[in-house]
Amino acid sequence: MIESLRITDLERFKDDYNDKIFITFDIDWAADDVIAYCLNLLEKNDIKATFFVTHETKMLDRMRQSPNIELGIHPNFNFLMNGDFRYGKTFTEVIAYYFKMVPEAVSARSHCLVQSSPILDAFHDLKIKYDLNLFIPRVSNINLKPFDSWQDDLIRLPHFWEDDMHLTYNDPADVNHYLDFDGLKIFDFHPIHVYLNTEDMSRYNSARSVLQNMNELKTHVNTEHFGINDFFNNLIKEISK
Ligand SMILES: [Zn+2]
Residue 170 CA to ligand 1 center (angstroms) comes to 20
For residue 19, pLDDT beyond 90: no
Read off the CATH number of the domain in which 198 is found.
3.20.20.370
* pTM of the predicted structure, to 2 decimals: 0.97
Could you tell me the residue range of the domain that residue 11 belongs to?
3-240
Q: With bands split at pLDDT 50, 70 and 90, how would you rate the model's confidence at 53?
A: very high
**Using CA atoms, how far apart are residues 180 and 79, in angstroms rounded to an integer?**
39
Strands 20-26 and 49-53: parallel
Q: How far is CA 30 from CA 92, 112, 141, in A?
A: 24, 15, 32
**Using CA atoms, how far apart are residues 186 and 208, in angstroms rounded to an integer?**
27
Residue 133: what are its φ and ψ, rounded to 5°?
-95, 5
Residue 76 CA to ligand 1 center (angstroms) comes to 7
**Using CA atoms, how far apart are residues 97 and 227, in angstroms rounded to an integer?**
34
Residue-wise pLDDT for 77-108, tens only, equals: 999 999 999 999 999 999 999 999 999 999 99
Mean residue pLDDT across the chain? 96
Across 24-40, b (16+ Cβ under 10 Å) vs e yields: bbbbbbbbeebbbbbbe
Residue 237 CA to ligand 1 center (angstroms) comes to 26
Residue-wise pLDDT for 190-238, tens only, equals: 999 999 999 999 999 999 999 999 999 999 999 999 999 999 999 999 9
Residue 30 CA to ligand 1 center (angstroms) comes to 10
Residue 40: what are its φ and ψ, rounded to 5°?
-60, -45
Residue 1 CA to ligand 1 center (angstroms) comes to 30
Which residues, in sequence order, are CB contacts of 235 under 8 Å at separation 6+? 21, 23, 175, 179, 187
The pLDDT of residue 12 is 83
Percentages helix, strand, coil for the chain (3-state, rounded to 5) are 45, 15, 40
For residue 241, which of 3, 65, 60, 62 has the smallest C-alpha distance?
A: 3
Q: How far is CA 240 from CA 54, 61, 63, 199, 235, in A?
A: 29, 26, 21, 24, 9
Contact by Cβ (8 Å): 204, 165: no
Residue 17 CA to ligand 1 center (angstroms) comes to 25
Residue 4: what are its φ and ψ, rounded to 5°?
-100, 135
Q: Which amino acid is at 187?
A: F
Residue 27 CA to ligand 1 center (angstroms) comes to 7
Number of domains in the chain: 1
Residue 28 CA to ligand 1 center (angstroms) comes to 5
Residues with CB under 5 A from ligand 1 (ion): 26, 28, 111
